[in-house]
Amino acid sequence: MRSFTSVVAAVAAVLPFGFANLQPSHKSNDMNPSSYKSVRVLQTDVVVVGGGGVGTYAAIQLEDIGKKIVVIESKIRLGGHTETFIDPESKLPVDVGVKLYHDKPIVHEWFTRFNLSTTRFNVSAAAAVSQNVDFWTGQVLKGIPAANQTALAAALQRYAAVLQKYPQLECGFYLPDPVPEDLYMPFGQFVQKYDIADAVQFIFGLTSAFGDILELPTLQQFRTLSLGLMATTSNFQTSSVMDNSLLFEKATAELLAADSLLLSSKVLATERVNDSGAVKILIDTPKGRTLVIAKKLLMTTPPVSSALTKFDTNRDELSIFGQFQAVGYYTSIIRNAGPVNITFQNLALDKPYALAPMPAIYNVNPIGVNPSLSLLYYGTKVGQVISDEQAKANIIADLKRYQAANCMADTNPEFVAFSNHSPYNMLVGSEATTKGFYKQLYALQGKRNTFWSGAAWRAHDSSSSWAFTKNSVLPALVASLGSSESEWGLMSSTSALWVAVFVRGTVSAN
């Protein structure tokens, strides 16, 4: 979860993932264990593909109940969207990606697992001085009154009253059948229907990286601004030492010590169905090709073509994953972005609810450890695909337009760090939602010895995705290994319900 004082940049974009030409990839690769030295053949209970926030969490949970696991990660580090920049001048950390967590036991337990702790994030201090800017024109917008807190609270109460009708959404995309109109109607219509205009800017900040939220199904706002998140908005948690990446550094050390982690490794081919019932994954690692043979596979990477070309994906999977849309999302640290110690919020007064049209900067935020640095989020418009170079050029152009429009000296802004998190917030539209997309998506769990988790299955909210993994995915995975429910010490009565749901491949209509 990112700070809503730093409204994350993104827009909904339909991506032509091009699944139609995918073919089983193992034909051109040798999947015979006898072809490899014994040290290059790994036997395991579960192979986890993707070492982001969810993949790492799942791996450690499985390790803690005695399961043998192997994590495959293409990057040189674990953590995914959890990125931390170390300022070379102050030597202090700055969380560029994941910033905030819910104030819930699952979060505190996860930090405590590595002898770490959290502290309350001071939202007021982070947003002490702010300036509204129309980055399309570069003009500073003066005289805009502060949000009416009474009206905001009332609007959020009306929002929550509808959300409370569907408590099962706190666990994931468990939708009634048929899907109620309130869940699939465009959020702009929902805003008008329930008179929550006074909360739109607030909601926009919390449902980070969704682009034009007014056009998306209301379900997508419920997905992130859930009952759990609303309960923690006044007590967001973050690392007590302001370095969320420490979680994953400690997990990395532990997994490497157990020979359970393959970093900088690329999947070459996969067999998910064979005579032995095992999963085989051939991997290119820094030490050479390695064949992993596992009882089960847990996929936590985004289900897009670039992530699935080396997996023997079948027609059912392709037809489901091919319906996903995604948003573009870029984060960066800029030196000399403009006046120091000020948050710049992008507004467009001529647009509904002053939501800025994309492509544009969403906001610019001061980094306290170094006044010359700013954290900046950027997003593209629907259907627009741009390179990292183009995104950087657009950001610099927007900053210089702001400086010129307000007769400021050109500060020569430059990038210190840049990250492209696309595809982000994978979702489907109203039609697919009403036709049972999420029921079909969740019914994939366990088929072909494969389980699935990650943001696409819940939300780009670490706390919620950890809970989904813990309560809905891992109990079913562990049960499929022949383990008893008592062995899965984390399993709750709630999770047992969703295990039953997965086994049946259906979703309760209540």
pLDDT surpassing 70 at residue 31: yes
Give the Cβ contact number of residue 321 at 10 Å.
23
**Gyration radius of the chain's alpha carbons:** 23
pLDDT of residue 128: 60
φ/ψ of residue 94, rounded to 5 = -135, 115
pLDDT, tens digit, for every residue of 332-372?
999 999 888 899 999 999 999 999 988 888 899 999 889 89
Contact 137, 147 (CB under 8 A): no
pLDDT of residue 7: 30
Which residues lie below 8 Å from residue 248, measured CB to CB, with a gap of 6+?
Answer: 53, 56, 77, 78, 79, 82
d(CA 347, CA 442): 38
| Highest mean pLDDT of the ranges 102-106, 142-146, 376-380 | 102-106
pLDDT surpassing 70 at residue 478: yes
Q: Euclidean distance between the first and final Cα of the chain, in Å? A: 29
Contact 507, 439 (CB under 8 A): yes
pLDDT surpassing 60 at residue 486: no
pLDDT, tens digit, for every residue of 292-322?
999 999 999 999 877 788 999 999 999 999 9
Tokens 């790492």 belong to 56
Which residues lie below 8 Å from residue 149, measured CB to CB, with a gap of 6+?
Answer: none
User: Where does residue 353 rank: exposed (0-12), middle (13-18), buried (19+ CB within 10 A)?
Assistant: middle
pLDDT of residue 462: 96
pTM across the whole model: 0.89
Sequence-ordered alpha helix ranges (H) in 194-311: 200-206, 218-224, 227-230, 246-257, 305-308
pLDDT surpassing 90 at residue 438: yes
Contact 179, 507 (CB under 8 A): no
Bond from prior residue into 176 cis (ω within 30 degrees of 0): no
pLDDT of residue 273: 78
Closest CA to 473 of 457, 492, 451, 490: 451
pLDDT of residue 206: 82
Q: pLDDT confidence of 483, banded at 50, 70, 90?
A: low
pLDDT surpassing 50 at residue 18: no
Contact 458, 464 (CB under 8 A): yes
Longest dimension (CA), the chain: 74
pLDDT of residue 125: 60
Give the Cβ contact number of residue 277 at 10 Å.
8
Mean pLDDT is lowest, of 120-124, 368-372, 479-483, for 120-124
Q: pLDDT confidence of 491, banded at 50, 70, 90?
A: very low
Q: What is the mean pLDDT of residues 95-124?
A: 93
Q: pLDDT confidence of 74, banded at 50, 70, 90?
A: very high
Q: pLDDT confidence of 2, banded at 50, 70, 90?
A: very low
Q: What is the mean pLDDT of residues 275-300?
A: 93
Q: What is the mean pLDDT of residues 45-72?
A: 98
Alpha-carbon distance values, 400 to 14, 343, 409 (Å): 30, 16, 9
**HSE-up of 461 (CA within 13 Å, CB side)?**
33
pLDDT, tens digit, for every residue of 223-234?
999 999 999 988
pLDDT surpassing 70 at residue 505: no
In a 3-state reduction of DSSP, which class is residue 450?
A: strand
Q: What is the mean pLDDT of residues 161-181?
A: 97
pLDDT of residue 497: 41
In a 3-state reduction of DSSP, which class is residue 110?
A: helix
φ/ψ of residue 413, rounded to 5 = -60, 145
Which residues lie below 8 Å from residue 67, measured CB to CB, with a gap of 6+?
Answer: 45, 46, 478, 481
d(CA 352, CA 302): 32
pLDDT of residue 208: 63
pLDDT of residue 385: 74
Cα 488–chain centre separation: 26
pLDDT of residue 16: 35
More confident position, 279 or 424: 279
pLDDT, tens digit, for every residue of 326-338?
888 999 999 999 8
Closest CA to 260 of 33, 479, 43: 43
Residue 286 identity (one-letter amino acid): P
Tokens 């998306």 belong to 216
pLDDT surpassing 90 at residue 251: yes
**DSSP classification of residue 469:** I
pLDDT of residue 249: 98
Tokens 């039609």 belong to 431
d(CA 497, CA 8): 34
Q: pLDDT confidence of 207, banded at 50, 70, 90?
A: confident
| Residues of the chain above pLDDT 70, percent | 87
437: left (phi over 0), alpha (psi -120 to 50) or beta: alpha
pLDDT surpassing 70 at residue 5: no
pLDDT surpassing 70 at residue 252: yes
pLDDT surpassing 90 at residue 19: no
User: Where does residue 317 rank: exposed (0-12), middle (13-18), buried (19+ CB within 10 A)?
Assistant: buried
Tokens 């973050």 belong to 238
